[in-house]
A and B are shown apart, each in its own frame.
Chain A
Amino acid sequence: MSERVATVIKPVLASRRRLPAGREVLLLATLAVLVGLISLGSHGAFWSRVNLDNLFVGSAITVIPAIGMTVVILTGGIDVSTGSVLGLTAAIGGTCFAAGWSLAATVPIFLASGAVLGLINALLIINGRIPPVIATLGTLSIYRMLVFIVLGSNWITAIPPALTTIFVVDHLLFLPVVAVIALVFLIGAALFLRHFRWGRHVYALGNNEEAARLAGIRPERIKLAAYVMLGLLTGFAALLTLGQSPMVQTSTGSGFVLQVIAAVVLGGTALSGGRGTMLGTLLGTLVVQVVDDGIVLLRIQPFWGGVALGAVILAAIGLSAHHEIRGA
C-alpha cells in the first residue's frame, strides 16, 4: 500500500534507506505521556498498589494470547476467533469446575481444549486452503455457538477460589503471579524468536514464503505450530480470566480478540508478516491497558475508552505509515 510509488522505483531506492523510527521508542514515549497525565489527573491514585495490580493482571491476560497472536501474524496469518476460543475453553473448563473437578485436574482441560480449537483453525487454513481471516471468522461464530450449547442458559460461578488466590492475589517479586508468568512467557518467546532456529524460520516464512520453502523450511508445520500455540495460550488466558472474575457466561471473551490484535498491531507487528517483536507486543498491550485504566481513574465516562483506544491506534499507525512513505 504505502509502497505504491516506492515499488515503481524500488531498484534505485533500495539503497541508502534510513532506519524508520523505532516503534518501541514511540510506544515508550506514548506510555510515559499517558502515565504522566493519568498520575497527575488521578492525584497519584495510579501508583496505588490496587491499581497497579489490576493493571498488571489485565495486561497479563491480554499479553499471553498476544504472544501467540504475534507469532501467527509474523507468519503472515491472523486469527480473529481468539475471543470465542477463550469463551469456549472457559465454558468447558467451567463446566468441569461445576462438576466438582479439582483445579489441578482441570488446568490440563483448559490447555488441551484451547490447543484443539487452535488446531482446527490451523487445519482449515493449511489443509482446507481457506484464507486465515475467513476461516477464523467462521470458527469465531461456530465456537461461540458451541459456548451456548455447552452452557445452555446458565452462568457458571462455581470457580475454585484457589484459582484467584494462586494467580491473582499472591505476589512474586512484587508482582501478581499472573504478571510474572506472563513476563516469563514473553521473555521465553522473545528468546525463542530471536535465538532459536524455529524462531528465525517464523520470520523467514513471513518475509518470503516461497524462498523459505525452497530453503527447506516447511511453512505448513510452522503455521500449524503457531495456531496451536495461540490456542493453547488462549486456553491458559481463559483460566486466568476466571481467576480475575470468577464467572463464565455466554458472552465471556467476546470483543477480546480486537483488544489482542490491537495490542499486537500497535506494538509494530506488520500484518503482512515477517516483522515485529515481543517487546513491541508488550508495550502495545500496556498502552491499551493504561488507556483503559486511565479512563477509570480519571472518572471519565467509561465509554470514552473505545474512542481513546481508536484514536491511539490511528495516531500510532498513521504516524509510522506516513513516516515509511516519506522515509522510503
Chain B
Amino acid sequence: MHASGFDRTRPLLLLVMAAAALGGFALGHPGIVSTQNLDSMAVFGIEIGMIALGQTLVICGGDTGIDLSVGAIAGLAQVILGRLLHLDLAWPVAIGMTLLAGLVLGGINAVAISWFRIPPIIATLATLFGYQGLALVLTGGINIDLTHESPLFLAIGQGHVLGLPLQLVALYLPLLAAFAFLQHGTRFGRALYLAGTNDRAADLAGLRASRIRAATYVLCGLVSTIAGIVGAARLGTARPDAAGEANLISIAIVVLGGTGIFGGTGSVIGTALATVVIGIVDYGLSYNDFNPIYQAGVIGVILIGVILVENPFVAWRDSRRTNGA
C-alpha cells in the first residue's frame, strides 16, 4: 500500500464506468463519439474538475475538512474579473489581480478554520453566504458582459491547442500534474496524509497539521478562482451565481474518486478519473436533451450507488484479510 492508502479498486471501477457510460451513449447515438463531442465533453468537465482538485486536498487533510465556498469563490472571482476588465485594465493585469483576490478568499477560510478553529463546514458555509453576497453586491445581480474583451482573454475558455481545448492543455492538465506531484511527491503531501490520519500525532511529529490544512484552503480558493476565470472566458460573461452547485458536485466528485470523507486517504488522480465519468454522463445527458438538473440527479445516484456497491465488497475483503493474518 502506498503512504496515501490509495486503493486500486476505485480507479478501475471508475474507468469501467467511464467506458460503460460512453459505450451506453454511443449505442443510442453513435455520433456522440466524435472529436467535436469529446471536445465539448472536456470543456464541460474542466471547471468543476479544477475545483475538485482543490477540494481533494481539503478533504484529504482531515479534521472534518470540507470547503462549501468553492462555487461562491468561483462566482465572486468572475465578478471581480469582470469589474476589473470594465475598468479598462489590461486583461493579464486583471487576471493577476483576480488570482490575488482568490488567494485572499481562500486565506479567509484558512484563517477562520486554522486560527479561530471554527469547524470547516460552518466557516465555509458562512463565507459561502458572504462571497455570494459580495458577488451580487458587485454586480447588482446583473451579469457582466465580456464578449467584447480581448480575443486573447476569451481564448482561455474558447481556444484550442493541437485540436484540444486550450484550458485542458494549458490549465487543467498542468494543474492536475502539479497537484498530483504536490500530493504524492512532496513532503507537503506526505504531511497532509499524516495530518489527515491523526491530527495530534502529526503535530507531535513536528508536522504542523493546522498550517498544512490552512494551505489546502488557500490552494482550493486559488483553483476555484482559476475555474471562475475559465468559465467567464468560455461564456464571455461574468455571472455572480456562475458555479452555484459547485460545492456539492465537487464534493461528490472527490468522494466518487475514492477520497474518504474522514481524511488521510485518496488522490487527485482518482478525482480526475471521477471528473471524466461525470463529464461523460453530463454531456451524454445534455446531448440527449435532458435538462441539466438531471445531471446533478444522476451524479447523486452514481455517488450513492458506488458506495452502496463498494461497502459490502470492502467489508468482505477486509474480513478475508483479517482471517488470513
Contact = CB atoms under 8 A, between A and B. Distances in A.
Given A262-B129, A306-B129, A311-B130, A145 B118 contact: no
B197 to A, nearest CB: 15
Contacts of B112: 314, 318
Given A305-B133, A310-B126, A134 B261 contact: yes
B32 interface: no
Contact of A142 (B64, B118, B140, B297): B297
Chain B binding surface, main DSSP class: helix
Contact of A322 (B116, B125, B126, B140): B116
A29 interface: no
A142 B305 CA distance: 12
B117 A146 contact: no
Contact of A133 (B118, B130, B261, B299): B261
Contact of A250 (B66, B133, B293): B293
Contact of A271 (B121, B135, B294, B296): B121
Nearest to A303: B136
Contacts, number: 156
B291 interface: yes
Interface string A296-326: 0000011111111111011001100110010
Contact of A135 (B123, B133, B262, B304): B304
Interface in B45-69: 63-64, 66
A303 B251 CA distance: 26
Contacts of A262: 125-126, 129
Chain A binding surface, main DSSP class: helix
B137 interface: yes
A111 B66 CA distance: 32
B63 A1 contact: yes
A129 B95 CA distance: 44
B308 interface: yes
B24 interface: no
Nearest to A314: B126
A25 B122 CA distance: 20
A142 B301 contact: yes
B291 A148 contact: yes
A130 interface: yes
A131 interface: yes
A134 B303 contact: yes
A308 B137 CA distance: 12
B311 interface: yes
A141 B133 CA distance: 23
A310 B293 contact: no
Interface in A227-271: 250, 258, 261-262, 265, 271
A139 B304 contact: yes
Q: Which 3 A-B pairs have the closest CB atoms?
A: A145-B297, A306-B133, A310-B130
Interface of B: 63-64, 66, 112, 116-119, 121-123, 125-137, 140-141, 199-200, 203, 210, 248, 251-252, 255, 261-262, 291, 293-294, 296-301, 303-304, 307-308, 311
Interface of A: 1-2, 4, 7-8, 78, 80, 124, 128-131, 133-135, 137-142, 144-148, 250, 258, 261-262, 265, 271, 301-311, 313-314, 317-318, 321-322, 325
Given A142-B301, A250-B293, A318-B112, 13 more contacts: A133-B121, A138-B252, A141-B296, A141-B299, A145-B294, A148-B293, A148-B294, A148-B297, A258-B125, A304-B137, A307-B129, A310-B131, A325-B117
